[in-house]
Chains A and B, each alone.
Chain A
Amino acid sequence: GIQVEQSPPDLILQEGANSTLRCNFSDSVNNLQWFHQNPWGQLINLFYIPSGTKQNGRLSATTVATERYSLLYISSSQTTDSGVYFCAVGSGTYKYIFGTGTRLKVLA
């Protein structure tokens, strides 16, 4: 099955700093999402981005499907950005494979 690797596993930033999170996947996919999991466990949709580039405020994402990776950019980080960021990919019609996540901590 598809393998999904995320890097870095842990990241500590000072408030206001920028960061790039990476998701590599081992096979072609037709679905890809980025999620932020808050401390209460809720998975919050950030981007649905099987290919191309999208931006939403301080966040943006790029997926290069032919090279099997996706990047999530966080600019001007805030303490509320802390949490775990997951990339999830799907190649069939019914399931997502999640990466192991990047645990982000933003310090005030």
Chain B
Amino acid sequence: DAGVTQSPTHLIKTRGQQVTLRCSPISGHKSVSWYQQVLGQGPQFIFQYYEKEERGRGNFPDRFSARQFPNYSSELNVNALLLGDSALYLCASSPGTNYEQYFGPGTRLTVT
């Protein structure tokens, strides 16, 4: 069975631009969570979606938004990029909202 997939693997953006990151969960999993990991720190929770509804949001500005599609895949959007948004963005999938989470390989975003 395929694991969690994320695209793109890497990308470089300029300050002020917008970016969209994509995640496909494990087949049968209905929950997707997004995390941001800056260098040297542990991942920080951004969003959780379950059954296409936002179930939780971390302490991130409104420049960050996400959505989940009918096939349970998800997109994370970040507007007006700042240098501090440079990080590894991780997607996690789980069967529901209170289960073991499985992480994808991440998207490494560099903002210049």
A45 contacts across to B, CB distance below 8 A: 100, 102-103
Report the minimum CB–CB distance from B36 to chain A (whole Å). Answer: 11
Interface pair B43/A98, CB less than 8 Å apart: yes
Interface residue ranges of A61-88 to B (CB < 8 Å)? 86, 88
Most buried by B among A33, A41, A92, A101: A41
Nearest to A97 among chain B residues (CB) is B45
Q: Out of B37, B42, B48, B108, name the residue touching A95 (CB < 8 Å).
A: B48
Find chain A residues with CB under 8 A from B97 CB: 93-94
The smallest beta-carbon distance between A31 and chain B, in angstroms, is 7
Known: A40-B105, A42-B105, A100-B41. A31 touches B58 (CB 8 A): no
- Nearest CB of chain B from residue A37's CB, rounded to whole Å: 9
Instruction: Assess the A86–B42 pair: CB atoms within 8 A.
Output: yes
**What is the number of residues of chain A that contact chain B, defined by CB distance less than 8 Å?**
23
* Interface of B, helix, strand, loop or mixed by DSSP: strand
| Given known A92-B56, A94-B48, A95-B48, contact A33–B101 (CB-CB < 8 A) | yes
* Count, chain B residues at interface, CB 8 A: 26
Taking CB atoms, residues of chain B closer than 8 Å to A41 are 37, 88, 90, 105-106, 108
Asked if A94 and B55 sit within 8 Å, CB to CB, the answer is yes
Within the assembled complex, what's the spacing in Å between the Cα atoms of A42 and B106?
7
By a CB distance below 8 angstroms, the chain A residues around B106 are 41-42
Residues of B within 8 A of A101 (CB): 42
Chain B positions near chain A (C-beta within 8 angstroms): 33, 35, 37, 41-45, 48, 50, 55-56, 58, 88, 90, 92, 97-103, 105-106, 108
